[in-house]
């Protein structure tokens, strides 16, 4: 079964410097029918103006994945970590017992566009941690590339939950498939472009919850399509 979460139905918040769309309940947006899916709790699509951003604030007991689509995002945290996240980078921050961080647009001329993803950890009270990797474009073009996993396999970031996160970049006609093991569910999020998912047409910002299916089939339907696939325990 595939249940579509349309981009136009998402929650919205616009503070001038920040334009955000919420796939699931977040902040002042509350929808009891969209509180998350399996261990996936938040997918926010954020656009931040030059030199603007989120000041220092705290988190606990959450796996936070940042995925930049355009521009550059500067990260600083209470672990002493500082980095710039750009397209092709995947950052994982484990809040655990508590962490404080800030995120600012690293440019004073160009906006930054990114996805912020929160995943509930399988164990609370772990030590805070941080990890960042870079994915070469060729590694996800026309194929699924593992970028996050429970065991950090294949060079992916380690997510402290039973989830495997894949990305793919598709052009028209490119097709990839993914097999779900028994007892697994999936969430597909279209980051940009357009894709056909098992006969369903999805465009940028759309998401889809997948239950009781063996195989996901994704076919590119736009020149620049980028899709995230979350394979999770039900």
| Domain shared by 109 and 15, yes or no | yes
Contact 47, 110 (CB under 8 A): no
Cross-strand pairs, 4: 208
Q: Which of 135, 168, 190 is the last residue of a domain?
A: 135
Q: What is the pLDDT of residues 49-74, one digit of tens each?
A: 999 989 888 899 999 999 999 999 99
From the CB of residue 74, how many other CB atoms can be counted at a distance below 10 Å?
16
Q: In the block, which residue shows the tokens 């930049």?
A: 68
SS3 165: strand
Q: How many helices (H) and strands (E) does the chain have?
A: 1, 22
Dig out the tokens for 144 from the structure: 């699924």
Domain boundary among 116, 135, 154: 135
The last residue of one of the domains, among 87, 111, 135, is 135
Residue 230 confidence (pLDDT) above 90 = yes
Q: Is residue 4 part of a domain?
A: no
Same domain flag for 129 and 143 = no
Average pLDDT over residues 97-121: 95
> Residue 74's beta-bridge partner residues?
84, 104
Which range of residues forms the domain containing residue 131? 11-135
φ, ψ for residue 154, nearest 5 deg: 55, 30
Token pair, residue 198, equals 């098992």
Distance from the Cα of residue 194 to its chain's centroid: 17
Q: Domain count of the chain?
A: 2
Note whether residue 2 is domain-resident.
no
Q: Which whole number is the average pLDDT over 176-196?
A: 97
Task: Please report, for the domain that includes residue 50, its CATH number.
Answer: 2.60.120.10
Q: Residue 173's pLDDT is what?
A: 87
One domain, residues 71 and 111? yes
Asked if 20 and 34 sit in the same domain, the reply is yes
Has residue 77 got a pLDDT over 90? Answer: no
- The β-bridge partners of 50 are none
Instruction: Answer for the pair 67, 226: CB distance below 8 angstroms, yes or no.
Output: no
Residue 31 in any domain: the answer is yes
Residue 47 tokens read as: 């656009």
Task: State mean pLDDT over 121-141.
Answer: 95
Q: Do 24 and 127 fall within a single domain?
A: yes
pLDDT of amino acid 144? 98
Quick one: 37 and 125 in the same domain?
yes
Given a cut of 90, whether residue 132 has pLDDT beyond it is: yes
Report the distance separating Cα 63 and Cα 40, nearest Å.
10
One domain, residues 221 and 187: yes
Structure confidence at residue 128 (pLDDT):
95
Torsion angle in degrees (nearest 10) through CA of 49, 9, 213, 224 = -40
Examine residue 150 and state whether it is found in any structural domain, yes or no: yes
Q: Work out whether strand 157-158 and strand 145-149 pair parallel, antiparallel, or are unpaired.
A: parallel
42 in a structural domain: yes
Query: In this predicted structure, what is the pLDDT of residue 51?
Result: 95
Please check whether residues 60 and 120 belong to one and the same domain: yes
DSSP symbol at 36: -
Residue 165 within a domain? yes
Residue 48 has a pLDDT of 98
CA 219 – CA 234 distance, rounded (Å): 25
Q: Give the chain's mean pLDDT.
A: 96
Q: What percent of the chain has pLDDT over 90?
A: 92
**Is residue 222 one of the residues assigned to a domain?**
yes
- Do 127 and 180 sit in the same domain of this protein? no
pLDDT above 90 for 26: yes
17 and 131 in a single domain? The answer is: yes
116 and 172 housed in the same domain:
no
CB 163: neighbour CB atoms within 10 A? Answer: 24
Distance CA 207, CA 189 (A): 4
Averaged over 17-44, what is the pLDDT?
Answer: 97
- pLDDT score of 101: 87
Q: How confident is the model at residue 200 (pLDDT cuts 50, 70, 90)?
A: very high
Residue 167 has pLDDT above 90, yes or no: yes
Residues 187 and 131 in one domain: no
Task: Answer whether residue 6 is part of any domain.
Answer: no
């Amino acid at each position: 079964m595939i249940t579509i979460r349309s981009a136009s139905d998402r929650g919205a918040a616009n503070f001038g410097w920040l334009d955000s769309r919420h796939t699931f309940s977040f902040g002042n947006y509350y929808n009891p029918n969209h509180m998350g899916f399996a261990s996936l709790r938040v997918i926010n699509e954020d656009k931040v103006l030059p030199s603007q951003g989120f000041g220092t604030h705290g988190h606990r007991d959450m796996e936070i994945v940042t995925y930049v689509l355009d521009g550059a995002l500067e990260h600083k945290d209470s672990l002493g970590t500082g980095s710039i996240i750009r397209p092709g980078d995947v950052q994982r921050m484990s809040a655990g017992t508590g962490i404080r961080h800030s995120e600012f647009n690293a440019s004073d001329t160009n906006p930054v566009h990114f996805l912020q993803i929160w995943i509930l950890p399988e164990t609370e009270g772990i030590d805070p941690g941080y990890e960042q990797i870079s994915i070469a474009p060729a590694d996800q073009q026309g194929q699924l590339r593992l970028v996050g996993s429970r065991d950090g396999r294949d060079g992916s970031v380690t997510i402290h939950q039973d989830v495997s996160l894949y990305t793919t970049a598709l052009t028209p006609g490119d097709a990839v498939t993914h097999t779900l093991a028994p007892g697994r569910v999936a969430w597909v999020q279209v980051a940009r472009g357009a894709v056909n998912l098992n006969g369903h047409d999805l465009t940028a910002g759309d998401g889809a919850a997948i239950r009781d299916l063996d195989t996901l089939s994704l076919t590119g339907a736009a020149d620049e399509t980028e899709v995230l696939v979350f394979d999770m325990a039900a």
